[in-house]
Structure formats: structure tokens, C-alpha cells
Structure 1
Amino acid sequence: MHRLIPGTARTCFGETAPEFVRYSEEVLFGDVWRREELSLRDRSLITVSALVAAGQTGQLPYHLRLARDNGLSEEELAEAITHLAFYAGWPRAASALEVARTVFPKPASDE
């Protein structure tokens, strides 16, 4: 049995677009994300990279958290975004890092 990938579509769009919710839950997260050719970790890294490259930061908080749940460390995600700066553009990477900073806040230092 597969671990449930929690989505936000039902909460966000359930009353407005029930078919969108069904496609999100059944097709995207129920089928596409479950294909065995790539691990959940790899799918998360690809998804985060695509969102950063496209400048789509609205979905980034959810997918950064999911990526962490799927085995990517915060350091690996920051490194991926840094790498993308040279291929997707510095402003897009900087915007993604701002999102990551809010999703993964660092504790205040004692210095």
C-alpha cells in the first residue's frame, strides 16, 4: 500500500472545481506520482526544479515540504535551487530561496 500524498486541492478548490480535485487526487497524486520508474524523492526534486525554473512560487511551499517528507534535506533543496540559478535565472532562484527561508526557518543563533 502506498503512503498517502496529502494534497490541498480539496480544501482550496473542492466547492469550486470538484473535477480538478478528483484529477489532482486520483490522476496526479494517485497515478502519476506512483509510477515506479522514479522514486518519490526524484519526483519531488523534479517538481521543485520545474516550479523554480518557471518562476511559479505559489505551489513551492507545499512541494518543498513534500520534498522534505520524500527524503530530500533542506540543504539538498537549497543546493538544487542554487544550481538552478545558473540555468533558470538568478531572480527566480532568489525568489525560490525566499520561499524556502519561510518554509524552513532557521533557529535563532545564540551569538
Structure 2
Amino acid sequence: MDDASKKGNRYRTGLELRRSVLGDPHVDRAEGAATDFDRPFQQLITEAAWGTVWARPGLSKRERSIVTLALLAALGHDEEVAMHVRATANTGASREDIREAFLHVAIYAGVPAANRAFKIAKEVFSQMDGAPHA
């Protein structure tokens, strides 16, 4: 298989996996908002993150979801934390899994990072449960 075919397969695999984790509405919004300026970035995310890393056989979607949440929380990427907390509805990661990941963040990346992640997760859970949030 030549490089172009591999790249095309990675994109197709990545797009399917990205949709299965983040949901069609999210991916449709991201793809629809892409311009000539950032379309190559959207393609990179789809091929590299989703078509290469998330598609690897070594970890389940649930496990990758937990790792991703811990990393995003540790790095303070709040919008991404919220997006991936929502995605747990599609990955099988439970609220208990998220809690345990954020407890690890507290020890290994700092209490402020974990505190922020817990706050974000609680807001997202409230939205997912249909409850009003403060």
C-alpha cells in the first residue's frame, strides 16, 4: 500500500472513530466551521489523533478516554476536558473512572488542575443530566 492510500485509510478510520467518540453533531460542527486556513489542522487531528493513536489496538475506547481526560486536565485544557467528559457517554468511561483519573491528576499534576477538572466535569454532568447549573 502506498503512502497516499495509507493516509486516506487513516483519515477514513479517524473520521469514523472521531464520530463514534465525539458524536456526529460535534464533528459536523468542526468540519463545517473549517476554513481554508484551518482545514489542514482538522485533517491532521483526524488522521493523527483519531486515525493513528485512538485506532491503535492496545487500549479500549474507555481506557483511552480516561488517559485523555487525565492529560487534558493536567495540562489545563478546559474546553477539551469538557468535550471529552461529554464523550464518555460514547466510550464507556464511567463517572467513577473520571473521578479516579482526576484524583491521579491531583497527585501527579497538582490540586489546582484537578480542582478545575472536577468543577468542569460537574458542570458537564449537570448539563448531561438536564439539571440547571449555577
TM-score by length of 2: 0.68
The one-letter code sitting in structure 2 at the alignment partner of 1:38 is L
Within the candidate set 17, 29, 32, 1:4 is matched to: 17
What RMSD over aligned residues (CA atoms) do the two structures have, in Å?
2.1
One of 56, 61, 74 as aligned partner of 1:35 = 56
2:102 to 64, 81, 95: 81
> Cα distance 1:90–1:71, how it changes in 2: closer, same or farther (>3 A)?
same
- Unaligned 5+ residue runs, structure 2? 1-12, 20-26
Give % identity.
34
Distance 2:53 2:111 in 1: 30
Q: Which residue of 2 aligns with 1:47?
A: 68
Structure 1 pair 11/88, CA: closer, same or farther in 2 (3 Å)?
farther
Per the alignment, residue 72 of structure 1 pairs with: 93
Gaps of 5+ in 1: none
Runs of 4+ aligned structure 1 residues displaced above 3 Å come to: none
Answering whether residue 116 of structure 2 is matched by residue 95 of structure 1, we say yes
Please say if residues 49 and 81 of structure 1, whose CA atoms lie closer than 8 Å, have aligned partners that are also in contact: yes
Distance 1:18 1:11 in 2: 10
Q: Deviations over 1:28-85 (max 9, x none)?
A: 2122211101111111111111111112212111111223321111122123212321
Aligned partners of 1:52 and 1:81 also within 8 Å: yes
Aligned length: 106
